[in-house]
Amino acid sequence: MYPDTNLEVLMARYQQGDLAAATVLINQLSPQLHRFFVVQSACRGDADDLLQETWLRIHKVRHTYRSGEPVLPWLYAIARHIRIDHFRKTIRTTAREQRLDETPEVPAMAAAGSTTTMGLEALLAPLPESQREVIEMMKIAGMSLEEVARATSSSVGSVKQKAHRAYRKLRERLSGMGQSKGTEGGFS
């Protein structure tokens, strides 16, 4: 086990060429970065690819990290840009493709009786992308308002507004599914 698990220290050591620190950093942060992509992506394969692309980009631009600054906002800003680039590429590709035949209708999902049987992805799916991103960073990654603002190049007020609107939509959705206010899973 590596002696220090402080993200800022690990990143500084990674910048200096310490491969053990890089390995610890990757092992420590990959699960939450992967969740960030899974929640935002339609398929797990895309999330895997985006995670790999993020670590490649981080490796290329690791010299831009300012020692002593929080690592999470810097990492999530890179991950966010990777996701946006992927989204734009996908749109360009699908705009150029021609359908050979009509896609058959996908059967409707069975109605879920509670949020415990409903996946996080399905719960957050109706939210606009910017709100999903804020909720994922705050509630899953555990980032502060300031860190989310830095990672998304937004103001703290904008992040608060997106979070508030997302919470309201989630409460409406949960109450529409028969959930009581006490079982909102921390969405207040």
3-state secondary structure of 11: helix
The pLDDT-based confidence of 109 (bands split at 50, 70, 90) is very low
Cα 90 from chain centroid (whole Å): 18
The confidence score (pLDDT) of residue 45 equals 82
Amino acid at site 161: Q
Short-list 93, 109, 115, CA closest to 171: 115
Distance, CA of 133 to CA of 138 (rounded, Å): 9
The pLDDT-based confidence of 115 (bands split at 50, 70, 90) is very low
- Assess whether pLDDT exceeds 50 at residue 183: no
106 Cβ contact partners less than 8 Å away, ≥ 6 residues apart: none
| Average pLDDT of the residues in 54-58 | 93
- Count the alpha carbons within 13 Å of 82 in the hemisphere toward its beta carbon: 26
Record the tokens describing residue 148, joined without a space.
């989310």
Cα 7 from chain centroid (whole Å): 18
Tens digits of residue pLDDT in 121-173: 778 888 888 888 888 888 887 888 888 888 888 898 999 999 999 989 888 88
Query: What share of the chain in percent tops pLDDT 90?
Result: 33
Maximal CA-CA distance, the chain: 58
Average pLDDT of the chain to the nearest whole number: 80
CATH numbers and ranges of domains, the chain: 1-95 (1.10.1740.10), 117-181 (1.10.10.10)
Structure-model confidence comparison of residues 107 and 121, the more confident one = 121
The confidence score (pLDDT) of residue 114 equals 43
The confidence score (pLDDT) of residue 116 equals 43
| Average pLDDT of the residues in 74-78 | 92
Distance, CA of 151 to CA of 149 (rounded, Å): 6
